């Protein structure tokens, strides 16, 4: 039977501590987003699939009609910003067909805001048809006072 010495334990602990920063990016947890969606909407499913393909951990909850609208309003999404589904990620709301890159930017920058929105359902936005045929659309940042500002603009293809 081998005896573990204090020196051996310290050497092992030091090695593990030195290698930990190298291992953490591969082990980093995927951002988790919870999506409340219309139960009959195919584009919501397509957007969820795009998020999963982009490395997000997605859970969904089916809702409809006034319950879905109430959920949006109670979480600070102005009516003019509404779309067909609403996500929640790390304290931010994500309304509509927001591209995964914009969600990652929101999480990296951490602005004092409610979240992001792509109002309506612009053709060619994520989940709404081919990107190479997209119409121009804007991703808005919803500020805490309910006002909005442009976060990202996407030109038509």
Q: Could you say which architecture CATH assigns to the domain 29-154?
A: 3-Layer(aba) Sandwich (3.40)
Instruction: Pull the structure tokens for residue 129.
Output: 């048809």
Indicate the pTM of the whole model: 0.81
**C-alpha angle 90/63/58, rounded to 5°?**
35
- Mean pLDDT of successive 10-residue segments in the chain (157 residues)? 48 44 53 92 91 97 90 96 96 98 98 97 95 96 97 97
- What integer pLDDT is reported at residue 101 of this predicted model? 97
- What integer pLDDT is reported at residue 19 of this predicted model? 45
Instruction: Pull the structure tokens for residue 63.
Output: 């809702």
- What integer pLDDT is reported at residue 10 of this predicted model? 44
In this structure, what are the phi and psi dihedrals at residue 136, rounded to the nearest 5 degrees?
-65, 140
Q: What residues have CB less than 8 Å from 139, skipping those under 6 apart?
A: 98, 99, 102, 116, 117, 118, 150, 151, 152, 153, 154
Domain boundaries of the chain, sorted by first residue: 29-154
């Amino acid at each position: 039977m081998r005896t573990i010495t204090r020196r051996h334990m310290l050497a092992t602990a030091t090695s593990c501590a030195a290698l930990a920063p190298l291992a953490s990016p591969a082990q980093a947890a995927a951002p988790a987003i919870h999506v409340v969606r219309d139960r009959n909407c195919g584009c919501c499913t397509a957007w969820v699939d795009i998020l999963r393909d982009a490395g997000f951990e997605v859970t969904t909850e089916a809702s409809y009609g006034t319950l879905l609208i109430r959920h949006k309003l109670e979480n600070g999404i102005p009516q003019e910003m509404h779309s067909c589904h609403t996500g929640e990620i790390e304290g931010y709301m994500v309304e509509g067909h927001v591209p995964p890159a914009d969600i990652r930017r929101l999480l990296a920058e951490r602005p004092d805001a409610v979240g992001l929105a792509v109002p309506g359902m612009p053709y060619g936005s994520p989940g709404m048809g081919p990107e190479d045929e997209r119409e121009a659309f804007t991703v808005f940042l919803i500020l805490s006072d309910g006002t909005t500002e442009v976060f990202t603009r996407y030109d038509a293809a």
